[in-house]
Structure 1
Amino acid sequence: MDGIRTAQEIGAELRAARCRMRLTQAEVGKAVGYSASAVSRLEAGRMRLEYDRLLALAASLGIPADRLTATPVPGRAVVGTVGRPADEEDAVRRRNLLTGAVAIGVTATIGAPSAAAAAAGGDPATGLEDYLFRLPSAAPVPLGRLVQETAGARSDFRAARYTDLGRALPGLLAAASATWEEARGHEREKANVALARVYVLAAELALKQHSDAAWAAADRALTAARASGHPVPIGEASRVLAITMRRSGNCPTAVRHLTREAQELDTGQAQTAAVRTTLMLTAAYSAATGGDRSAALDLLGAAEEETTRREAAVPPGLFTVDATRTQVDVYRIGVLNALGTPDEGVNVARRINIASMPTPERRARAWTDTARMWHSLGNGRQTFAALRHVEQEAPQEVRRPALRALTSDLLYAPVRVPGVREFAVRTGASPAWRRTRRPVPAQPWCGRADTAGGG
């Protein structure tokens, strides 16, 4: 192909086309199967491709074939360009190029576990710290699409599909950040809400896996939420930040933070009242974890009164948690467990209709607290029955570090419970797991052990 232009000239064409479409080298590389560094070398003229591969790359960027040769190629055009203005063609080609790529992060794999690692019990939060501090490259996306993809990630969390969520988060965070940077006026306000909620999801996933990345994600969520000025995302972000405070052993600070945020919410609107309820429930559990029985029960009672006032209305859907009477009862079991009086939760557990709870993640959380209650009471069979319910509701939930630890305790209990050993192997809590995986380090929990991963 003697008519091909020099590598430097072709590189300049590739770079110009990419910039015209407002794409990064990483985005182009991911969409066509090259690394960002390979695209960089191509644009600098330091790397050559075979002609058919060069044509394919050029076509993806909307470069006519005759721009790659020293002499025009008669009648040669990129498929799909006829009849469209240049700007429209660029926009269409850019959308096509980014379908499924890192711009929105639906299939992003940076910092995410492989399918094989997930099948072997890999941590869905692997790489969270890395990509929180160095997001992958991404281009801004329309706000409507960002909101839609955020809703999809929220669905993964609520369905306890943590591996899928871990894969999606890097690109979604990058796209949300890029969109926020370019947004102005009212659009920036909306972008802040979306960005806050993506960081809330990152914090929730990190909390589930006992990752220190929860601190950074929760702090960024609250910063973006406050910038939006909307009370609901502020409350959502405040809740996950307070959980990180509790996890670090600072229960009193968590309680003060939550109660202060709850007091500032307007209870005249259904959704803000529901957020206030979730803040009080988390504050109750935090107080109980710190050993403050009086404050824990007072906050729990206040949350119950709030739900009673709203029980005639359909509870509004919140982002990751709920504010219903059933949810209050689940928290009551958790509070009583944390206070060291699990026997007081037995009647509460018997009256709860866990099946009525709206999401697998919340149902699994309810069964988890029930399992802890029976475990504290020394009833291995009931503990195992509750753990089996967790597995039925959300298979990935039962592989979390806290639940594997509970399963391991059950496995080595003096009284053997049929089926536990098989369950331990299936969920990664078997002796083989203990030999091959690094144990979760001890944390400076305040008061009794706080392993719920929620709250």
Structure 2
Amino acid sequence: MGEVIRQARVLQRRSQRDVAAALGYHQSKVSRLESGRGTEDVRVLREIAQVLEIPPRRLGLAATSDANPAEPGTEDMHRRTFLAASVAALATPPSSSAIHHDLIQVLLPGTSPAATGQALGLDELRDRARAVRRMFYMCDYAELEQTLPGLIADLRQVAGGSAGSAEASGLLATAYQTSVSLLLKRADQGNAWLAAGRAMAEAERSGDPVVLAASVRVHAHVLVREKHTALAVTMVRHTADQLTGSYDQRSPRYLAAVGLLLLRGATAASRNGDRGTTQEFLTEAKEVARYVSFDRPDAWANFSPTNVALHEISAAVSFGDAGVALEAARPLMRRHIPVPERRAALWVETARAYSQRGRLAEGYQALRIAESCAAQDIRRPAVRELVADMAARDRRRALPELHHFSRRLGVPA
């Protein structure tokens, strides 16, 4: 909104002082508005929209006339919808594809996406929900991004009915959770927030504690990405305390959800620099892994002792313990990991550890192995940043293949 205000002022060739005088404010007030501060005051936004001749909807305001002012509830609804869309737009790369746009459209509040017309029976919807989870674990992100919008639209249609709506809400929550994971892979935190909120709402509607735990997990994942690590730890700990215990009496699906939640807590704690809490979460996750092992691409949730070990490696890298990470990674290098997304994660974390130790050649080889496991995964922004950093540190260009790799990924140092 600040940028909309600034552009309108510049197009009219007016100074901040001039606009402030017309509003009866100090120049600093206009400066704050253009930087995005103070834009929660609807009255001020209406005044500046009138002075700069900005269409109200461009500032998230309901269109009104003097004779028909907006109702407060209507105004609030427009503001919430606009703000949610704005947060998403700020985080979405300018070159977003039409397919990416379709996914975002089914996440925005108030939208009514068109259903695909495919079968809407719960059995068919379950199969389709499993299929999108498999696409994620197989790192087929392009196909996943194309498939999710139609599935979400169909699930929303069924969840809005009466029969089977609770289970449909659970499936819809799972589809939103997958959207969060995909959007974070794309480094699109803004839209990931939207998907996480949708996932939480549908999980609560379903009444299924397993689905709710999974939604809390992806919500914590977004918090970690936004560097709210302490809050993520608190959220995971609070939820896990209500779900842990009596593991020998729980279903595998329940245990997998709890295990993945604990691993997310370990990631959050390690990013927060808290070794003690990280170890607590990992120890609990190991205990859960004694009773369940989902280690295949078509599993509802990919949790197993292997996944716990991968998170131990990732935590060691976060703490800068590259030697510990490499030592922990060696046994996994010789183990068959059925899920491509997890295989790629192993080699990417190994590359990070090698990079921390200045062993760029070995880090490059690890990245090439990761690419052979999951070509699309290696092109996500976080990995591309790692490649660019490694190439920048090779100042003498002793590794021309690393620089070629960096250029091929579109991130020359």
Cα 1:372/1:316, change in 2 over 3 Å: closer
2:215 to 227, 230, 237: 237
Question: What is the letter of the counterpart of residue 246 of structure 1?
Answer: V
Match of 1:189 among 166, 169, 193: 166
CA distance in 1, matches of 2:300, 2:351: 22
Amino acid at match of 2:386: L
The one-letter code sitting in structure 2 at the alignment partner of 1:326 is T
Code of the residue aligned with 1:188 in structure 2: it is S
Deviation at 1:130, TM superposition (A): 3.7
Quote the residue 2:235 is aligned against.
257
- The change in CA–CA distance for 1:430 and 1:153 in structure 2 (over 3 A counts) is same
Q: CA deviation at 1:359?
A: 1.1
Structure 1 contact 315–324 (Cα < 8 Å) conserved? yes
Contact 1:345/1:373, CA 8 A, preserved across alignment: yes
CA distance in 1, matches of 2:101, 2:335: 31
**Which residue does the alignment assign to 2:149?**
170
Q: Is the CA contact 1:284–1:335 (under 8 Å) kept in the aligned structure 2?
A: yes
Q: Does 1:144 align with 2:123?
A: yes
CA RMSD of aligned residues (A): 2.6
Name the residue aligned to 2:134.
Answer: 155
Aligned to 1:203: 180
Partner of 1:271: 253
Asked if residue 350 in structure 1 is aligned to residue 325 in structure 2, the reply is no
- Name which one, 1 or 2, has greater alpha-carbon Rg: 1
The code of the aligned residue for 2:221 comes to I
For 1:363, the equivalent position in structure 2 comes to: 343
Does the 8 Å contact 1:271/1:316 carry over to 2? no
Among residues 205, 226, 241, which one is paired with 1:248 in the alignment?
226
Give the match for residue 400 of structure 1: 380
Residues 187-218 of structure 1: CA distance to partner in whole angstroms, max 9, x if unpaired? Answer: 11210111011101110111111111111111
Q: Does 1:323 align with 2:298?
A: no
Aligned to 1:129: 104
Q: Distance in 1 between matches of 2:224 and 2:283?
A: 21
String of CA shifts for 1:58-93, please: whole Å, max 9, x gaps: xxxxxxxxxxxxxxxxxxxxxxxxxxxxxxxxxxxx
**Which runs of 4 or more aligned residues in structure 1 lie more than 3 Å from their structure 2 counterparts after TM superposition?**
120-131, 313-321
* 2:391 match: 411
Aligned to 1:66: none
Tell me which amino acid in the other structure corresponds to 2:356.
Answer: S
Structure 2 partner of 1:7? none
Q: Match for 1:372 among 344, 347, 352?
A: 352
* Residue equivalent to 1:228: 206
8 Å contact 1:399–1:427 — kept in the other structure?
Answer: yes
**Per-residue deviation, 1:176:** 1.0
Do 2:344 and 2:377's aligned partners in 1 also have CA atoms closer than 8 Å?
Answer: yes
TM-score using structure 1 length: 0.63
Paired positions, count: 309
Structure 1 residue 151 displacement after superposition: 1.7
Shift of 1:136: 2.2
167-176 or 225-234, which deviates more: 225-234
The AA in structure 2 aligned to 1:148 is D
Determine the C-alpha separation between the residues in 1 that align with 2:326 and 2:98.
33
Displacement of 1:396 in angstroms is 0.6
The C-alpha deviation readout for 1:279-320, integer Å capped at 9, x for no partner, is 11110110110111111122212222332x32xx65476866
Offset at residue 143 of structure 1 (A): 1.7
Aligned CA distance change for structure 1 residues 388 and 264 (closer, same or farther; 3 Å): same
TM-score (norm 2): 0.69
Q: 2:9 matched to which residue of 1?
A: none
Q: Are the equivalent residues in 2 in contact too, given 1:125–1:209 (CA < 8 A)?
A: no
1:217 aligns to 2:195 (yes or no): yes
Residues of 1 paired with 2:98 and 2:356: CA distance?
27
**Taking structure 1 as reference, are residues 195 and 347 closer, same or farther at Cα in structure 2, changes over 3 Å only?**
same
Query: Is the CA contact 2:138–2:339 (under 8 Å) kept in the aligned structure 1?
Result: yes
Post-superposition shift, 1:385? 1.2
Q: Secondary structure at the match of 1:340?
A: coil
- 1:173 positional shift: 1.2
Cα shift at 1:125:
4.5
Residue 289 (1) aligns with residue 264 (2) = no
Deviations 1:134-165 (A, max 9, x none): 35222682222222222221221111010111
Distance 2:224 2:138 in 1: 25
CA distance in 1 between partners of 2:97 and 2:323 (Å): 35
Answer yes or no: is the 8 Å Cα contact 2:169–2:202 preserved in 1: yes
Which letter maps to 2:120?
Answer: V
Amino acid at match of 2:128: E
2 CA distance for matches of 1:288 and 1:191? 35
**AA partner of residue 294 (structure 1):** G
Answer with 202-211 or 349-358: which moved more: 349-358
Deviation of residue 278 (structure 1)? 1.4
AA aligned to 1:287 is A
Gaps of 5+ in 2: 1-94
**Per-residue deviation, 1:355:** 4.9
Pair 215,326 (structure 1): closer, same or farther in 2 beyond 3 Å: same
* C-alpha distance in 2 between matches for 1:251 and 1:321: 23
AA aligned opposite 1:248: E
